[in-house]
Amino acid sequence: MKSALKWDVIAKCGTTKARAAVLTLPHGPVNAPVFMPVGTQGTLKGITPDQLEGLGCQIMLNNTYHLGLRPGQELLDACGGAHTFQGWNRNLLTDSGGFQMVSLLKLAEITEKGVQFESPHDGSLMLLTPEHSMSLQNSIGADIMMQLDDVVSSLTTGPRVEEAMWRSIRWLDRCIKAHKKPESQNLFAIIQGGLDPALRAQCIEEMVKRDTPGYAIGGLSGGEEKDKFWRVVSQCTDLMPREKPIYCMGVGYAEDLVVCVALGVDMFDCVFPTRTARFGNALTATGTLSLRQAKFKDDFRPIEEGCDCIACKSYTRAYLYTIVTKETVGCHLISIHNTAYQLRLMRQVRESIIEDRFPQFIHKFFKDLFVEKSAYPEWAVNALKSVNVDLIQGEETQN
């Protein structure tokens, strides 16, 4: 199918499967590996588009299901799409609405035709079919659109997993047929199959035949064991086309990002940075600070030394302790910091790949975050060992 993107790999890690690339989209270049902040309903919670652009963000997410409800397709068409509507001049990726099959399961009914949702706002019904999802995403004008897939919880087992996998393939065909703007919007396929390696392999084999501009690993980050999570990710990156971008959906913890880059993933998204900010939690290279704790009441340091976000340049931990979870500006400032942290982390990862020192970066990252090797997550140790990085012994081998 047609593609409205250009994918240029500029460096490969000599040890892991990591790579640095430039993804050129209709609204500008995106440096990968990339973390994409999530603005579900047309905005990141607590951050303006100008502030997000000031942090160096090149691409963010919107959600098709939510924008289809409010403001609705008619208004999106009238204003020329979501870029104009929300004042965002850089790239957009839209989640098709499939994930709401899990998150709003009590409000959804799934059939071969599509998914019928009951609006959480007013109880009205919406039938989201592959065709309607494509129509909405064409109206939104996203630079990258996701196919409507049949999403089941990663904890689901049995025939339902295979059913969802095959239905996702059939729905991809319907999405391709319904997509009206392939010259300006890119449609990505989503690999399903749960935690079953055979189903994942079968799904990839079928979806690669459709030759979409990029591919996503779906159906993870739903509470499954991390040792199973990384094995699915690694299997998928081994089997998916390496000449196209690979996106792992719903991944946002710092250690997950670093490990998955090593396993060959290029793109990530998650609500975690802004969601955890609403509880007063600030992300740093040495771990999460719960700024609600009284120990910060007379701590006049910034959230993180060396961070140049407005929260760190202009405010102290003591000030944030005073207002966090009480005043909206506290959530606003921590959201800015957390988003800045995630974006900076990915820039550092990318630079280390380009300079072929990514394994050394991984060692320092884990040492800073966990201090003692005994505290390193076992799944991360196993995952990195599979790509020749030994966190415990510190001995790497070249591919």
Residues placed in the known binding site for substrate: 95-99, 149, 192, 219
Q: What count of residues does the chain have?
A: 399
- Give the CB-side neighbour count of residue 270, counting CA atoms within 13 A: 23
Whole-angstrom Cα distance, residue 195 to residue 197?
Answer: 6
Annotation marks residue 390 as catalytic:
no
Binding residues for Zn(2+), by number, are 307, 309, 312, 337
Which tokens belong to 256?
Answer: 């997950």
Whole-angstrom Cα distance, residue 146 to residue 132?
Answer: 13
Whole-angstrom Cα distance, residue 65 to residue 90?
Answer: 21
308: which DSSP letter? Answer: -
Whole-angstrom Cα distance, residue 274 to residue 37?
Answer: 9
Provide the 3-class DSSP secondary structure of residue 40. coil
Whole-angstrom Cα distance, residue 268 to residue 218?
Answer: 11
Burial of residue 124 (number of CB atoms within 10 Å: 0-12, 13-18, 19+): exposed
Catalytic residue among 196, 269, 299, 356: 269
- Give the CB-side neighbour count of residue 170, counting CA atoms within 13 A: 12
Catalytic residue among 50, 95, 211, 308: 95
Contact 55, 368 (CB under 8 A): no
Annotation marks residue 266 as catalytic:
no
Long-range contacts of 367-376 (CB under 8 A, 24+ apart): 368/285, 368/286, 369/254, 369/255, 369/285, 369/286, 369/287, 371/286
The 3-state DSSP composition of the chain as helix, strand, coil percent (nearest 5) reads 45, 20, 40
Residue type, 365: F
Whole-angstrom Cα distance, residue 311 to residue 289?
Answer: 14
Contact 205, 171 (CB under 8 A): no
Whole-angstrom Cα distance, residue 136 to residue 86?
Answer: 16
Binding residues, by number, are 95-99, 149, 192, 219, 307, 309, 312, 337
Whole-angstrom Cα distance, residue 312 to residue 7?
Answer: 35
Nearest alpha-carbon partner for 45 in 314, 286, 328, 285: 328
Give the Å distances, CA to CA, from 168 to 186, 218, 259: 18, 11, 27
Catalytic (active-site) positions: 95, 269
